[in-house]
Structures are given as structure tokens and as C-alpha cells.
């Protein structure tokens, strides 16, 4: 979990203005400004901005079709950008593709493997094509992810195919991991193993770009987050900064009848029924509300953190709020 | 399912909301029931996050399955242990019953009709999916038979020519292996002999692929699971596939009979011929219905049914080869093995020579027996699984795999092996028949003329025969070249994304596939030349033509490589059109070189096909210039194609 301490005053938004050509800072593993990509008359990326600093885990959030995979494919040189700037590990992702790919590992969102190769063969193949992998680490990861490497890839479920790609990626000694919704097919136990891998990568000073639409996953892992929608960056910053804009749903049952909730700041949509209550609370006022409830003797409490969907809803459905946003938006206007 | 579900598939899901993708997994259909149930709960109530020690409050999670309200320990990485009632075990037993025998018992309370519920809809869905494919198959098959039938009418106009054909068939074991034994010296019987065997094989392939497409392929892709969850009986999918196959074969029988009558062949015989073709199709639809239950992959099911088809062709070939000639020497009575094969039945029907009509009854009986077997097999297996064990592979890759070229070879070698077997058989047959060429061609003046035209117009009929066949098989082998290169496109829509995200450049990756395809082409041509030369040498006792024939085969290589270059160019520049354009180009080459001389096409049109520039070896003198020019064009096209591929977006 992130704490407010991690986003001190030193935080500088990396919007378009900050990361202009003059300073593609050496500390940034990925620096993307005004990236645009169209397919026919569909504008998949529309002046997208993204800055990933070396050594951080960066959550890349957005609903399906927002342009996450397209962005990553441009960063891999699989697609050619129409305009804008993109720098990966100090190089041009299109021209320097092969040299850059020795230093990064990619896990696609939809892992396609060769049906007649075994899982073990596919892992070794990806490792070798990337420039070799750590045998000991390979064995350890196969063990931890509980993958049967002798099965043919055609018999693997989606989750098992993702395991193959994840093992091949984490067994390689690289500086940057580009992970495109890597856990969408994993069960919770494997999800935990995946999180351990990310933590370890972070300890070793590696950079991770983690694309996802599961806020809780990003919440648990990411140092900073970029949210995109319709090919544009709509929010960028630490989670605490983004959470600030959202509400948590709470359902509570107390020993004594609930009073005084409606008077607290930040409480919305209150449904009160004697000793039970359902309401939403602005994340910044959570502490006050908790303390108030504690006085009443909490019997049961369910707190649902804001989902990505709610974050989007709030961002797009709510009328524009006058108060200034803590995080710089990527909106280039 | 081979995998023990317990450690991988926990009864308790995390407090986090599952993704939509996580909800449907192929494994769940086969064995595990717990995950979907638990997921329902997570979406109903989204409890607090797990605490740091990994404990999850079980109350909100397991309730749907009657999991006790107590806490469930979930130590990370150690599997799941249930306290109290072993719900997981019980639940799994219930599920296992409902998936196998139990489901049937449950449905039988509403009558057997429930097993077939939804069949009509699935038939319409299958017909909709096949609305282009099946009509193309039917029209192409009818067209080929119609073209052969009318050309045979032209070739064997006189009684004498027909008698000569019958005698040569009766006298040539090789010709009987491939065409079967001719029933009598009539135009109808000659047509049936010349067309039935190969057409029946194609009809069988059409039926096999249709049945597998609508059964096992649906299961492999997970579509069956979606469909099966709707109001659809357990037999509906297989029944729908069989209905479609039977419909297609019925239409085929009608089309064939009508076309042959229109050409001028006797009506009763044509009806019998059409029914025998449809019958062969239905017989192999039944075979595919069974193999689709046995194998876990569509490829495996197709392959297994194809092997049965190959065996059926071979068995009747042996029976026909070893048959006994009748006293007048114009026909042969096949031995018993011919009667073991559905392909053989159609030939033994003798539709244009009186007709043994009772033979037609063999098809429905055979079909019914196989379909009954297939239904019984569906009763004893789960959705998505097969009856045959899935083979495992090595846990560690061999060193030879670990490069783009190694990978390309691994992906291509199966296709090349299949083609090698086919080419070897063709070459040996062609060589063995060479000595008889004079005799065979002498049976018809028109045939002689045709061979002289497409064989370069030499005086020596044996040489003309070889030149003509080298030309045809050169283009046939270019079919391998196209097929192998189009793997590049299949890879692009599949795993290529992940491969190019490694330190492999686009040209290096593409060249590795091109290298395999081009070397494979040369190897097949070498095999063609060698097989022809050796078998001709052994048949005639004269090996003096060995080098000449080898050269004649290899001379086709530059032309095939030009076609390869064209395919690479379409792959680079027009990836989404590459498949259609490449096959069109191949068919155009075949038509130009086979029909061009007969239709007296103008030279500029003839020149479009690279194969028109290959010298007619061994008739003509070898000339290096056209071959070098062809190689240069091939290299230029390939280079352009790689360049275009390098500059474009991946067309995923």
C-alpha cells in the first residue's frame, strides 16, 4: 500500500510541459509525449503521455479498448507511431528495437503459443531469443507457478499460457518489464506469486510497466499510476493522489443506533436503518468516519475500495469540480 | 483432465473482484466446479482485502457452496485446506456425475428429445458458418468431374479407343492401384474409373473437415462450452454436424448426377455414381464423428480420420491390383480387400455397367454403426476432453530449437514430411509408368496430342510424358512452397508479437521461414527427380536417364521460387490479402501451363506464369538464361517483401 509519505512535495508531474524534448531525463525508463496512432479512421492513441521512472512499478490503467496494448506495442516497435515522441531505455523503440529488446521482457495480454511445443520448450525459446535465461530461476519459477512444463501448449488454459510468458520474462535478466494485463487468467494463489515476482523485481531496481484494469492489483503493486481513456492520459500520479478523488463504499452494523453520520464531512448517499448504515465516504475523510463509528461499537463492517470503474465514473460523469486536482492530468490543453 | 485440480484451483478466491476473462476457463468445464461458484460470490459481496498473513474471511466467500462460516486458512503457496465439511470433494463428485452419466439421467426424465434440444439452431449456425466454404467445395468437385467427363468423351470416341483403354487398365497393375479396375469398355465406366477414386477422397476430406469443424474444433476453441451452457442437448452439436455433412453430400449426389446426365451419360449410371460419391462422403462423416470424440484437438481428429481415409484408399488399391483379369482381358475382378473400403464400394458398384445396386445399402449401414459409436463415446466423456491420452513433450527445449531458424524448422517440418511422402509416391508411380507411356498414350490420338503439346512437342513419347509431368508436378510442389510460406501469416496473427518483442529482428525472423520453405521446395523437387529416375530405371532396366530426369525436376525450382517471392511480397505489403492472393497465383500458374497450350493463349498471357519460362526438359535442350533470370526475379521479389514487412505495423 502506498502512504501519503511517498508523494512528498518533490513530486513533479510529468505532463507534456515537464517532459518536453529538452530533457528526456536519464532516470526515465519510458518517456512518451503526445503519442498518436491511428488505424484507418480509428484514433487508438490521441496525444498520449506516459512517464515511467527507472526503478518504479508503474500502473497503466484503463478500460478495455483504451489503448493500453497499442501503447505497449508502439513501445516494443511492433507498431509504428504516427506522431509524438517515445523513448524506451534511452533508445528509439522502432529503430533500436533489437538492441532494446535484449534489455526488456514483454508479457502479452493474450499469450499465443505454438500448440505443438511443450511449455518448457516455449519458456526456453523465449529466453534464448531474448539472450539467455537464468536456469536456476527458471526452475524456481516453474515450481512456484506450479506449471507442468511437459504439457503441450495446446492443452494449456489461458492462465497456464500466461504462466509460460511470465516465467520466461522473470527468468530473464532484464532492466524493464512490459506486462500487459498479465494476471487476467491467473487464480488468486498464482496472483500472489506474481506479486512476489514484482516485489522482487522492484527490490533489484528493475522497472515495471504494469497494464491492468484491476485497480486493486495496481493499488497493491504500483508506485505511480497513469490512467488512460480513449487513447489519452486522463490522470497520472501516485495512488494516494488519485484516491483522493474517489469514495469508498461502507456498510456497517453497530451496537448502538447510528447517529451523527450525516453531519460528518465527506459522507454521501447515506442509507440509515437503526444500527445499520450504508454510505459512501470520500477517501480523505475515512479516518474521521472510522473513529466516529468506533465510538458506536462496530459489529460488522464491509468497506469496498473504489474500483477503477468508479474512478472513471467519477472522473467523467461528475460535473467538473472547481477544486484543483492534486495530480497533473495528461490532457494536453 | 490430467492435472490434479486441488493445488491449482482453490476453493476460495481472493477478496478482489475477478476479471471477466478469469471467469471462463477451459479447465473448469472438465473438472473443477469450485471457482465459478466462488466467483459468483465475490461479485455479490466484495469483502475486505486479505490481511497481511493471507487469511481471508470465509463468510462472504464460500457461502454459495455451503462452505462453513468459519475462517478458511489460506497460507500463500501451500494449497487450500478446508476445515469442517470437505465441500470441495463432495462438490466435485456431484459435478462429475452431472457431466457424465448423471446429466443423461436427469434429462431422460423429460424424454430423449432433450438430448437433441437445440439441434435445429445449431444446424442453421453451422450452415451459416459454412455458407461460402461448402458451396465452393461442392461446385469445385462437380466442376472437376464434369471437366474430366467431357474430356474423356472427347478422348475415347471410338469403340477401339475405349477397348484399348480397358485392356491397358486390365494390363497395368499401377493404373489399377490408383484408378481401380474398369468395369467395361463404355464411356461411362471409363469416366467412373478415371474420376471416382480421387473424387471420393476429396468428398471424404470435405465431410471429415466439416464434421470436425462443427464438433471438436468448437470444443477446442471453447465455443462448445458457451453453446452447451444454453438450452442445448448433449447430442445436439454432433447431430448438427452430421446433419450438415449429410445435407452437403446429398446436394453433391444430386449435382453430380445432374451434371453427368447433362453431359450425355446414361441417367441410371449417373445417379448411381452421384450416390456412391455422396455415400463415401457420408461414410467418412461417420468416421470423423468417431475420431472427433477420440482426439482432444481438431488437428488430431482430422489427422486420424485422414489416416483412416488413406488406409481405405490403400486397401482397395491392393484388392484392385491383385485382381483377376476376365477371360476377354477387358476388365478385372477385384480381390476381397476392395470390399473392405468405402472408397472401394463405389468402384465395385459398376454404375455404368449394369450396376450392383445393393452396394449402395452398405453406406447407410456403415454410417449408422459409426454414428451409434460416436454417441456412445459422447456419453462417456466430458466436454473438451478426448479418449486418447495427450502426448507430453520435453520439459527443456533441445538446443536445436533455440533460434529463429530452429523454431521455423520445428514449425515447418511436419508439413514438409507429409509432402515428402506424397511426392515420393507420385514420383515412383510416375517413373514406373514411364515405360508404359508409349502404350498408354497410344490408346488415344487426342491424349497423344495433348501430351505432345504440354510436353514440349518432342517426337519421343516417353520424354514428352516426363516433360509434361515434371511441369505439372513442379507447380504442384509450388503448392508446398505457398503453404509453407503462409505459415508466416499464421504466425503473425499468433505468437509473432511475443517473438518480435525479443531480440530477433524482423528480417531475421522472416528469412528463417523463407529459408525453410525454399530449401524444402528444392528438396521436394530433388525427391521428385530422384524417385522418378530410380523407379523408371528399375522398371526399364536402364538408368541412363537418371541425371536428365533429376535436372528436369530441379529446373522447376527457379519458377517455384518466383512464386515464393510473390508470396513473400504479398505477406510484406498486403498481409490481410496474402492468403487469397497467393493461392490465386498458384491456381493461375496451373491453369496457364495446363490449359494454355490447348487454348492457344497469346504468348504475353503465357509469360505471366513463371513456369512457362522453364525449358521442357528432358525434351528440349537445357538453357541457363531463363533459369538465371527467374532466380533474379525471385530474389528481387523476396527482398521487396522483406523490406515491406520491415516497414509496416504488425497486422495482428
Scanning B568-627 for CB atoms below 8 A from A yields none
Flag whether residue A163 sits within 8 Å of chain B, measured between CB atoms.
no
Compute the distance between CA of residue B46 and CA of residue B449 in angstroms, rounded to an integer. Answer: 83
Mean pLDDT value across residues A171-179: 95
Q: Which residue has the cell 509432402?
A: B419
Quote the CA–CA distance of B66 and B84 in Å, as a whole number.
11
User: Where are the strands (E) in B158-202, listed by range?
Assistant: none
Query: Residue A230 and residue A237: Cα distance in Å, rounded?
Result: 19
Mean pLDDT of all residues in B88-105: 38
Element (H, E) at B415: helix B404-434
- With 0-12 / 13-18 / 19 or more C-beta atoms within 10 angstroms meaning exposed / middle / buried, residue A5 is exposed
Predicted local distance difference test score (pLDDT) of residue A230: 87
Of A110, A55, A2, A59, nearest to A215 (Cα)? Answer: A59
Q: Examine the pLDDT at B440 and tell me if it is beyond 70.
A: no
Q: A117 vs B410: CB contact, 8 Å cut-off?
A: yes
Angstrom CA distances, B287 to A312, B242, B337, B339, B388, stand at: 55, 11, 19, 17, 16
3-class secondary structure, A105: strand
Q: Is the pLDDT confidence value at A7 over 90? A: no
Q: Within 13 Å, how many C-alpha atoms sit on residue A116's CB side?
A: 12
Q: Of A98, A121, A304, which is closest to B394 when you measure between CB atoms? A: A121
Whether A229 and A63 have beta carbons less than 8 Å apart is answered as yes
Say what the pLDDT of residue B17 is: 39
**B26/A157 touch (CB, cutoff 8 Å), yes or no:** yes
CA distance A107 to chain B (A): 7
ipTM over 0.85: no
pLDDT at B330 over 60: yes
Distance (Å, whole) CA B499 – CA A76: 11
pLDDT band per the 50, 70, 90 thresholds, residue B262: very high
Angle at which helices B461-485 and B578-599 cross, to 10° = 170
> What is the per-residue pLDDT for B521?
97
User: pLDDT tens digits, residue range B371-430?
Assistant: 999 999 988 887 777 766 667 889 999 999 999 999 999 999 988 998 898 899 888 878
CB B528 within 8 A of CB B426: yes
Does A323 have pLDDT greater than 50?
no
Residue contact A98–B411, C-beta within 8 A: no
Nearest to A158 among B21, B402, B504 (CB): B21
Would you state the pLDDT for residue B44?
36
Model confidence at B499, in pLDDT bands (50, 70, 90)?
Answer: very high
Residue A194 has pLDDT above 90, yes or no: yes
pTM beyond 0.90: no
SS3 per residue for B220-286? HHCHHHHHHCCCCCCCHHHHHHHHHHHHHHHHHHHHHHHHHHHHCCCHHHHHHHHHHHHHHHHHHHH
Give the separation between CA A207 and CA A178, rounded to whole angstroms.
9
Strand extents, DSSP E, chain A: 28-39, 42-53, 57-61, 83-88, 104-107, 176-180, 207-212, 224-229, 232-238, 247-254, 267-273, 276-282, 298-304
CB contact B504 to A (< 8 Å): yes
Domains of chain A: 11-103+175-236 (3.40.50.300), 116-170 (no CATH), 247-305 (3.30.70.260)
Residue A327 confidence (pLDDT): 40
Number of Cβ atoms within 10 Å of the Cβ of A316: 9
Residue from B397, B407, B488, B507 to probe the interface with A (highest A Cβ count within 10 Å): B397
Is the CB of B501 less than 8 angstroms away from the CB of A214? no
Q: Are A121 and B393 in contact (CB under 8 A)?
A: yes
SS3 content of chain B, % helix, strand, coil (to 5): 70, 0, 25
Cα of A12 to nearest chain B Cα, Å:
31
- A-chain CB neighbours of B26 within 8 Å are 157-158
Cell 477385384 identifies what position? B334
pLDDT band with cut points at 50, 70 and 90 for residue A58: very high
Q: Does A102 touch chain B (CB under 8 A)?
A: yes
H-helix segments, B322-361: 342-348
Give the pLDDT confidence of B152-192 residue by residue, as tens digits: 888 888 888 898 888 888 877 777 877 888 888 899 999 99
Contacts of A146 in chain B (CB under 8 A): 7-8
Amino acid at each position: 500500500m502506498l502512504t501519503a509519505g511517498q508523494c512528498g512535495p518533490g513530486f513533479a508531474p510529468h505532463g507534456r510541459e515537464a517532459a518536453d524534448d529538452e530533457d528526456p531525463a536519464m532516470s526515465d525508463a519510458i518517456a512518451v509525449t503526445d503519442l498518436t496512432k491511428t488505424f484507418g479512421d480509428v484514433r487508438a492513441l490521441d496525444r498520449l503521455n506516459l512517464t515511467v521512472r527507472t526503478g518504479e512499478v508503474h500502473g497503466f490503467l484503463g478500460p478495455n479498448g483504451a489503448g493500453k496494448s497499442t501503447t505497449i506495442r508502439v513501445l516494443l516497435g511492433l507498431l509504428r507511431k504516427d506522431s509524438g515522441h517515445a523513448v524506451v531505455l534511452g533508445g528509439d523503440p522502432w529503430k533500436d528495437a533489437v538492441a532494446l529488446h535484449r534489455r526488456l521482457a514483454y508479457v502479452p495480454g493474450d499469450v499465443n503459443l505454438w500448440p505443438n511445443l511443450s511449455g518448457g520448450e516455449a519458456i526456453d525459446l523465449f529466453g534464448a531469443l531474448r539472450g539467455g535465461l537464468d536456469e536456476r530461476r527458471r526452475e524456481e519459477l516453474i515450481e512456484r507457478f506450479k506449471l507442468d512444463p511437459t504439457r503441450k501448449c495446446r492443452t494449456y488454459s489461458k492462465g497456464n499460457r500466461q504462466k509460460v510468458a511470465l516465467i520466461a520474462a522473470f527468468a530473464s535478466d532484464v532492466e524493464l518489464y512490459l506486462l500487459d494485463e498479465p494476471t487476467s487468467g491467473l487464480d488468486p494463489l498464482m496472483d500472489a506469486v506474481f506479486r512476489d515476482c514484482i516485489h522482487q523485481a522492484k527490490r533489484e531496481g528493475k522497472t515495471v510497466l504494469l497494464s491492468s484494469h484491476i485497480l486493486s492489483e495496481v493499488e497493491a503493486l504500483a508506485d505511480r499510476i497513469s490512467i488512460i481513456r480513449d487513447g489519452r492520459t486522463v490522470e497520472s500520479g501516485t495512488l494516494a493522489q488519485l484516491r483522493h478523488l474517489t469514495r469508498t463504499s461502507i456498510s456497517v452494523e453497530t451496537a448502538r443506533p447510528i447517529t451523527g453520520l450525516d453531519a460528518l464531512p465527506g459522507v454521501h448517499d447515506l442509507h440509515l436503518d437503526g444500527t445499520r448504515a450504508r454510505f459512501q465516504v470520500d477517501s480523505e475523510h475515512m479516518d474521521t468516519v472510522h473513529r466516529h463509528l468506533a465510538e458506536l461499537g462496530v459489529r460488522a463492517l464491509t468497506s469496498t475500495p473504489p474500483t477503477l470503474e468508479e474512478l472513471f465514473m467519477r472522473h467523467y460523469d461528475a460535473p467538473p469540480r472547481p477544486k484543483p486536482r492534486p495530480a497533473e492530468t495528461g490532457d494536453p490543453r | 483432465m490430467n492435472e490434479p485440480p486441488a493445488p491449482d484451483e482453490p476453493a476460495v478466491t481472493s477478496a478482489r473482484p475477478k476479471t471477466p476473462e478469469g471467469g471462463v476457463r477451459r479447465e473448469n468445464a472438465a473438472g473443477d466446479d469450485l471457482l465459478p461458484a466462488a466467483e459468483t460470490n465475490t461479485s455479490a459481496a466484495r469483502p475486505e482485502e486479505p490481511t497481511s498473513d493471507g487469511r481471508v474471511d470465509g463468510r462472504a466467500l464460500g457461502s454459495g457452496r455451503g462452505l462453513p462460516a468459519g475462517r478458511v486458512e489460506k497460507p500463500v503457496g501451500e494449497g487450500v485446506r478446508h476445515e469442517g465439511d470437505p465441500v470441495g470433494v463432495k462438490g466435485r463428485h456431484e459435478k462429475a456425475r452431472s457431466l457424465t452419466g448423471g446429466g443423461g439421467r436427469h434429462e431422460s426424465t423429460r424424454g430423449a428429445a432433450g438430448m437433441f434440444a437445440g439441434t435445429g439452431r445449431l444446424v442453421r449456425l453451422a450452415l451459416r458458418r459454412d455458407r461460402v466454404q461448402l458451396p465452393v467445395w461442392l461446385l469445385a468437385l462437380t466442376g472437376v468431374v464434369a471437366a474430366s467427363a467431357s474430356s474423356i468423351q472427347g478422348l475415347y470416341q471410338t469403340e477401339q479407343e475405349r477397348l484399348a483403354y480397358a485392356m491397358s487398365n486390365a494390363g497395368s497393375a499401377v493404373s489399377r492401384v490408383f484408378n481401380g479396375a474398369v468395369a467395361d469398355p463404355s464411356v461411362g465406366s471409363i469416366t467412373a474409373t478415371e474420376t471416382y477414386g480421387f473424387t471420393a477422397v476429396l468428398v471424404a476430406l470435405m465431410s471429415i473437415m466439416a464434421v470436425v469443424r462443427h464438433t471438436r474444433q468448437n470444443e477446442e476453441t471453447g465455443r462448445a462450452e458457451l453453446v452447451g451452457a444454453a438450452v442445448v442437448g448433449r447430442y445436439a452439436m454432433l447431430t448438427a454436424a452430421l446433419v450438415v455433412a449429410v445435407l452437403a453430400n446429398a446436394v453433391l449426389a444430386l449435382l453430380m448426377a445432374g451434371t453427368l446426365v447433362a453431359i450425355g451419360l446414361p441417367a441410371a449410371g449417373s445417379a448411381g455414381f452421384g450416390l456412391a460419391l455422396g455415400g463415401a462422403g457420408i461414410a467418412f462423416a461417420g468416421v470423423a464423428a468417431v475420431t472427433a470424440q477420440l482426439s482432444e484437438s481438431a488437428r488430431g481428429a482430422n489427422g486420424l480420420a485422414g489416416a483412416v481415409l488413406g488406409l481405405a484408399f490403400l486397401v482397395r488399391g491392393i484388392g484392385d491390383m491383385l485382381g483377376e483379369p476376365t477371360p476377354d482381358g477387358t476388365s478385372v475382378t477385384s480381390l476381397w480387400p476392395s470390399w473392405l473400403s468405402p472408397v472401394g464400394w463405389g468402384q465395385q458398384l459398376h454404375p455404368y455397367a449394369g450396376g450392383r445396386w445393393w452396394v449402395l445399402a452398405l453406406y447407410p449401414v456403415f454410417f449408422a454403426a459409426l454414428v451409434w459409436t460416436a454417441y456412445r463415446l459422447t456419453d462417456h466423456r466430458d466436454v473438451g476432453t478426448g479418449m486418447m491420452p495427450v502426448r507430453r513433450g520435453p520439459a527443456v527445449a533441445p538446443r536445436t530449437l533455440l533460434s529463429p531458424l530452429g523454431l521455423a524448422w520445428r514449425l515447418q517440418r511436419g508439413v514438409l514430411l507429409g509432402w515428402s511422402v506424397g511426392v515420393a509416391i507420385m514420383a515412383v508411380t510416375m517413373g514406373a509408368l514411364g515405360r508404359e507411356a508409349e502404350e498408354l498414350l497410344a490408346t488415344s490420338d487426342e491424349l497423344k496430342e495433348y501430351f505432345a503439346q504440354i510436353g514440349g512437342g518432342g517426337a519421343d513419347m516417353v520424354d514428352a510424358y516426363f516433360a509434361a509431368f515434371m511441369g505439372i508436378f513442379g507447380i504442384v510442389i509450388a503448392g508446398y512452397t505457398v503453404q509453407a510460406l503462409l505459415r508466416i501469416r499464421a504466425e503473425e496473427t499468433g505468437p509473432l508479437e511475443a517473438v518480435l518483442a525479443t531480440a530477433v529482428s524482423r528480417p531475421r525472423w522472416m528469412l528463417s521461414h523463407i529459408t525453410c520453405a525454399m530449401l524444402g521446395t528444392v528438396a521436394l523437387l530433388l525427391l521428385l527427380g530422384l524417385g522418378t529416375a530410380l523407379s523408371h530405371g528399375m522398371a526399364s532396366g536402364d538408368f541412363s536417364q537418371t541425371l536428365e530426369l533429376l535436372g528436369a525436376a530441379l529446373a522447376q525450382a527457379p519458377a517455384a521460387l518466383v512464386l515464393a517471392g510473390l508470396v513473400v511480397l504479398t505477406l510484406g505489403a498486403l498481409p490481410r490479402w496474402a492468403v487469397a492472393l497467393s493461392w490465386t497465383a498458384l491456381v493461375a500458374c496451373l491453369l496457364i501451363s495446363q490449359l494454355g497450350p490447348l487454348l492457344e493463349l497469346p504468348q504475353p498471357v503465357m509469360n505471366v506464369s513463371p513456369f512457362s519460362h522453364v525449358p521442357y526438359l528432358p525434351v528440349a535442350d537445357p538453357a541457363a538464361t531463363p533459369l538465371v533470370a527467374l532466380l533474379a526475379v525471385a530474389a528481387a521479389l523476396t527482398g521487396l517483401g522483406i523490406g515491406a514487412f520491415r516497414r509496416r505495423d504488425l497486422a495482428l
